[in-house]
Structure 1
């Protein structure tokens, strides 16, 4: 007969039971702390309006020794793309890993948590997983689109830092030849002569270094985001950087509209037209052109601004312990320097969407990566790099708080021969089919056309169609223009091949791909305020100024 062993029940208030439970809790807590402390720090550095004007990216005019040195030790992506060539939509898309059509943000005037969905951000996820998060300078676009707080306290462990001298960006602080202060586009200055004796990006660099010094001996890992304003206009930087680039380096400025491109694809660069020195040129609206000599001055100022940022970047990096820190350098979008006769972002052209993306990670072998990637890929990539719980892919029209519409770049960083889609999707809105004064930055209620574009290995295809802002739907039966560029022979996108019979098959294939990606139905309905939990609502109300809700026609 089998013997039966009966276990004696131990009372819950037994001292031995209590000690065992305490020991288990202590061991579990220690394990969590050790895991957190072993994770590397992260520094995300963003430039504003920076195309890949960098020496190691092949630009022989650019003087960027500090970025070049980091690139030699890093993985750098030669074909990385923004999801929209405008600051707020691009930054919110990158930091939430959701596309502009998901966030319903194509301008500056809505906050995704209340307008589209209470989506988790990249710094928020790291904060929720034991990181101390801090933002310096321009990371989120300031204002309504980040709740006037840069999404604090959701994304950041403490209030964000903005340079006090930011407020002079659009003020008359640029001396002309007579010493009169103007609101110029091109603005070489002496630092000590400027208000408060400094400039915004210098202030941000100093603050970031102060943070690094304060955190030097702390065991908690940190996520530090630093946003530099340049080379965003105006080109107000120390005059010494202009001396690196004599105008003769640039020759005659490319400044013409290419044949066969629909008017809707074009932008009239209204922001630079508002500057005092540009106004004096009396440039015809909307197509210009800008005088060739002034175009060379713009190029000189842009390149000088890039070298200025490179110097600040190098100074900041000198304070970073690269043995336990991941460093990411990127931009929110590019900028046209006369290509297609344009001098701005605000388009679906390659020069407006392509950005530098550099990832330095201890233990990752440096390499050049030519696969096509997107800024929405950055969130899941950093999560995987530090071995946090992975993020699931979003299902179509998903309103989940945490998911990604991108792909982790970790397989590419590790050099694995994984299958990769090699495609990037972007978009840009227009108020109508021909350029007008609000074509560059139409507010949501005024958007009537959406341009969707896809970049594949050999081609870029763009289609402009009717868009309805009331329910964020597109009508594929109302087309206002198409573009097709063959990057094997025309990397500058100067010849639109959309009407060439020999390219009909590839045009239809890419159009089908775009329709699959962006075919949103009217069933999405009118935008509604999204419901927050009671805890989130308390935080939101405590830190929000009045939110401006878009009105609809």
Structure 2
């Protein structure tokens, strides 16, 4: 038997090193043509799927997706409301870094110099970029198929899809019939895709938002899978009322309904023949349309589902427990597509090993529907710290929170002084200046330990991390008290009014 040359031995050792590295990362290094990308974006969605441990919802399609790829258990939104998070996903940046963190108020005309939107980079690399929109009226789009919502905080232009969309940043808009999945990846604008041209497709699915709760309830009852409201486990921060049980059960039925809509896209992808070379990414922008979830920086507001599947590149059925953020979506897509990642992008490649070195992620709460506020949070593997820069402003400081998110039965109990301290927190006229939670001991964040003498070093450490990040990324918060010349900021203060004062 011939002895191996030094070159041969070196090549074998190199191959073993690469194999072991890929094994640890659960990513299979196989050279293939550039992949297609399908981004399934679920608006207002907690990780309430079977694969995340929820036993009441019926989510076979999303559960199967997780079995065929990687499920992230510590993924976070960058904001607890739509437009800043949408902006982060398509720019790979915190919205504060580009000066576009306020929701439904002033929008920046364009991205700062050096920053680029994901769709533009994909289009330049000859990707067929396409957004999906269901046929029918606006509410039909919001419940079935996809709504084509982009909701960016920059370069919005005239709404082209619905009242929540900005400038159409995709090259094509595919009109689909949710009752016929043959229309998803064939016909219409799709036929303009070149032979062999890879695609970047985006489906914004709003099925499980508040407007989908009651339709979801009806849909689930028709199929015999409706959640029994008596079996719903009531979180400690909610009072156990008939309204709370009904809304929570309906919200879970809407999750099951959303899974059904996700299944249509996955089935259509399979039937089209694209599935084998498509990286599928499923995630949400923030928590459910519920009190203490949407618009709030607690775990319930920013902990989101995140699942990736890429046949031949990602091993089946594994779990990633590292800290992940939705700012990682754009760099991950670009890396998979072999497109250089701009240095201005702050996210990491989810399929690399960089997550293992990440020690914290951030999220921000600013203006909500043009009503001013400013809070920040930093999350590590053990703790979450929340800093409220204007504690005089309550959590329910905007009409949307009062109208859409509030449980009326709990509000009445609050007025009658019948809620415990944790349950009453959301209704109080002021916030505490800051909060700290031990995520390993108190995952539901029921006890704020920020003022416990034993945790003062941790509070100081988290504050230093947060303030250094703000300074490094240019996160500038309007000094509303100084601009208004008041000791405390009034509840109805408008972001746009402060910006005008600041510009003088």
TM-score by length of 1: 0.63
Aligned equivalent of 1:122: 118
Is 1:464 paired with 2:388?
A: yes
Displacement after TM superposition at 1:386 (Å): 2.2
In 2: Cα distance, 1:100 partner to 1:381 partner = 18
In 2: Cα distance, 1:525 partner to 1:294 partner = 38
In 2: Cα distance, 1:404 partner to 1:204 partner = 38
Q: Deviations over 1:523-547 (max 9, x none)?
A: 9799xxxxxxxxxxxxxxxxxxxxx
The 3-state SS of whatever aligns with 1:327 is: strand
In 2: Cα distance, 1:405 partner to 1:351 partner = 24
Q: Deviations over 1:85-122 (max 9, x none)?
A: 11111101111112121232211234444375573111
Aligned-CA RMSD value: 3.4
- Unaligned stretches of 5+ in structure 2? 1-31, 133-146, 392-430, 479-495
Displacement after TM superposition at 1:362 (Å): 2.4
Displacement after TM superposition at 1:404 (Å): 0.3
Displacement after TM superposition at 1:297 (Å): 1.1
Contact residue 384 and residue 408 of structure 1 kept, 8 A: yes
Displacement after TM superposition at 1:216 (Å): 8.6
1:149-298 pair list within 5 angstroms? 149=160, 152=167, 155-158=169-172, 160=173, 202=178, 208-210=184-186, 214=191, 218-235=195-212, 236-237=214-215, 239-242=218-221, 243-251=224-232, 253-254=234-235, 256=237, 292-298=241-247
Is 1:317 paired with 2:266?
A: yes
In 1: Cα distance, 2:116 partner to 2:154 partner = 18
Q: Deviations over 1:207-239 (max 9, x none)?
A: 534469747982111111011112111125352
CA gap of 1:420–1:133, structure 2 versus 1, over 3 A, is same
1:352-391 pair list within 5 angstroms? 352-363=301-312, 364-366=314-316, 367-391=318-342
Contact residue 155 and residue 167 of structure 2 kept, 8 A: no
CA gap of 1:550–1:228, structure 2 versus 1, over 3 A, is farther
In 1: Cα distance, 2:475 partner to 2:438 partner = 36
Contact residue 111 and residue 154 of structure 2 kept, 8 A: no
In 2: Cα distance, 1:71 partner to 1:510 partner = 33
Contact residue 485 and residue 497 of structure 1 kept, 8 A: yes
Displacement after TM superposition at 1:370 (Å): 0.4
Contact residue 109 and residue 550 of structure 1 kept, 8 A: no
Match of 1:44 among 33, 39, 54: 39
In 2: Cα distance, 1:99 partner to 1:331 partner = 16
Match of 1:552 among 481, 500, 503: 500
Aligned equivalent of 1:71: 66
Is 1:410 paired with 2:334?
A: no
In 1: Cα distance, 2:234 partner to 2:166 partner = 41
CA gap of 1:213–1:336, structure 2 versus 1, over 3 A, is closer
Displacement after TM superposition at 1:506 (Å): 1.0
Contact residue 78 and residue 370 of structure 1 kept, 8 A: yes
Q: Deviations over 1:481-500 (max 9, x none)?
A: 11000111110000000111
CA gap of 1:552–1:316, structure 2 versus 1, over 3 A, is same
- Unaligned stretches of 5+ in structure 1? 1-36, 164-197, 258-288, 393-402, 431-440, 468-478, 527-547
Contact residue 78 and residue 369 of structure 1 kept, 8 A: yes
Aligned equivalent of 2:358: 421
Q: Deviations over 1:260-280 (max 9, x none)?
A: xxxxxxxxxxxxxxxxxxxxx
CA gap of 1:511–1:251, structure 2 versus 1, over 3 A, is same
Mark the structure with the bigger radius of gyration: 1
CA gap of 1:220–1:49, structure 2 versus 1, over 3 A, is same
Match of 1:500 among 433, 452, 455: 452
CA gap of 1:205–1:120, structure 2 versus 1, over 3 A, is farther
1:12-161 pair list within 5 angstroms? 38-105=33-100, 106-114=102-110, 116=112, 119-136=115-132, 137-141=147-151, 146-147=156-157, 148-149=159-160, 152=167, 155-158=169-172, 160=173
TM-score by length of 2: 0.68
Is 1:326 paired with 2:279?
A: yes
Q: Deviations over 1:502-524 (max 9, x none)?
A: 11111111111001111379997
In 2: Cα distance, 1:227 partner to 1:109 partner = 22
Aligned equivalent of 2:254: 305
Contact residue 53 and residue 59 of structure 1 kept, 8 A: yes
Q: Deviations over 1:121-155 (max 9, x none)?
A: 112111111101011233411798632245656x3
